[in-house]
Structure 1
């Protein structure tokens, strides 16, 4: 068993993550997370930043997502007895790019894997992200918006530059471009009806929530969610997420998650107010290379 390049294996990779939504022992990325990570920047090159670990039958057993090279998300199949190859693939990728240290991100609930990281010299970081799961309600409450604001989605709104701009303003980043949005919208997992937005009185976009739902098991995740800095503290984040939850309820979603840094208290409190509960964590382990 050894690492292989990404090549044309995106379908198999998404199927691997889809199946793990039911079989993993702890938090794992949703297929929508991977699509967002891959397509949010047109400069991302999956053939160099994604490595697959396969068994002798060529089934995927682990995924290493490295972007930037000094950071890697490791997702391993629960039946994988020795995930050393996945760790080494991430380390080799970091070294090849001249990095002297590496941070590995993995889900909690894998004591053997965490012990292996410690034996290899990794140190747990106090910084971790909470995976929060929505506790189903008989009926999701209707969103309430300030006067002049309204809810929509990208089925009914064709202003792509406005959709790009609100994301850029929320995250103070120009990495997400019009071409990136078009790439995302062309992906089979993208659903314009689940790309929820809040329209401000002046016609600009004030908030958004991009939701991903896979059709095999019906699991869904919010990634990402944001409110424009000029429109914060108006309840727009809660409103756009309630709208998304109602849309997912209409689609009979079986499991709905969102993740955020545990230190992001406002986001955690928002999600808790909507009925999300923390069910696990994405942990970070770091080490410096001595060779």
Structure 2
């Protein structure tokens, strides 16, 4: 899956290899039980994949092989059945997918939460600053539990985060994870209170920021901006020239996008959602 994403990567691509690394490694196997993933190959080269979670589909298809998109959608329909309202989301620039999705009877649906690619070049980054009593640094390989704990603290506002030390260990052993690009803010008690992870695609010299978080009691101190900038500077030192982050773009959750824009990220392409109506049986 990552090989295909890397081979076709560009400004108009939905996914970065880090998206796949994070999503597959961060979810424990027992929670993946209902997932269905299929690959389409031509000889020794993968040309498409589909990934079903519940009634939703993520798909990647080589733009040079647009006809395979129809096969992925047929598989989606067969796997979910006619009584299910099917959902799929693509980047607005992926016209080879949109054409196939509309031909398959899916309808563009407005009003759902969507995501916007935000991009930054690394030639003019600001300087990260943390308040007295805090330390900005990258994670060490032996700090798995502390790294899992800061993720749980940052992502438990709405519902308790299910991040475990075992899941974080899986993330930290997944290609292309690098501890030099996994940055945290540590308080005076040695507790991690904010974090930002960047995944580097060395072939394209492009980083993906995923995920970022700050414990609620430490927000509005500039730690989110500092930890992102620390990781971005590290990305530049490792040869990166650009980075991407994909926050919500709708008005329902605007704060992350504002944070990234304050660092210098600029919004670009957005996702669009399509619905395939269930049949009356």
TM-score, structure 1 as length reference? 0.85
What SS does the aligned partner of 1:151 have? strand
Q: Is the 8 A contact 1:206 1:231 kept in 2?
A: yes
Q: Is the 8 A contact 1:40 1:175 kept in 2?
A: no
> Who is 1:84 aligned against?
70
- How far has the Cα of 1:47 moved from its partner? 10
Q: Is residue 266 from structure 1 mapped to residue 251 from structure 2 by the alignment?
A: no
Q: Is the 8 A contact 2:247 2:256 kept in 1?
A: yes
> Who is 1:277 aligned against?
266
Ranges of 4+ aligned residues in structure 1 off by more than 6 Å: none
1:133 to 95, 107, 119: 119
1:142 to 104, 127, 131: 127
> Who is 1:8 aligned against?
none
> Who is 1:20 aligned against?
8
Q: Is the 8 A contact 1:198 1:208 kept in 2?
A: yes
> Who is 1:181 aligned against?
168
- How far has the Cα of 1:112 moved from its partner? 4.7
User: What CA distance in whole angstroms lies between the structure 2 residues aligned with 1:181 and 1:33?
Assistant: 15
Unaligned runs of 5+ in 2: none
User: What CA distance in whole angstroms lies between the structure 1 residues aligned with 2:269 and 2:247?
Assistant: 11
User: What CA distance in whole angstroms lies between the structure 2 residues aligned with 1:36 and 1:108?
Assistant: 23
> Who is 2:232 aligned against?
245
User: What CA distance in whole angstroms lies between the structure 2 residues aligned with 1:270 and 1:153?
Assistant: 20
Number of aligned residue pairs? 271
User: What CA distance in whole angstroms lies between the structure 2 residues aligned with 1:165 and 1:88?
Assistant: 41
User: What CA distance in whole angstroms lies between the structure 1 residues aligned with 2:109 and 2:18?
Assistant: 27
What SS does the aligned partner of 2:123 have? coil
Q: Is residue 212 from structure 1 mapped to residue 171 from structure 2 by the alignment?
A: no
Q: Is the 8 A contact 1:125 1:286 kept in 2?
A: no
Unaligned runs of 5+ in 1: 1-12
> Who is 2:150 aligned against?
166
The CA deviation string for residues 60-113 of structure 1, in whole angstroms up to 9 with x for no partner, is 2222122x3222211121112321111222333333xx9722221211113353
| CA shift in 2, pair 1:100/1:65, >3 Å | same
- CA RMSD for the aligned pairs? 2.2
- How far has the Cα of 1:169 moved from its partner? 2.1
Q: Is the 8 A contact 2:49 2:60 kept in 1?
A: yes
- How far has the Cα of 1:171 moved from its partner? 1.6
Q: Is the 8 A contact 2:148 2:163 kept in 1?
A: yes
TM-score, structure 2 as length reference? 0.88
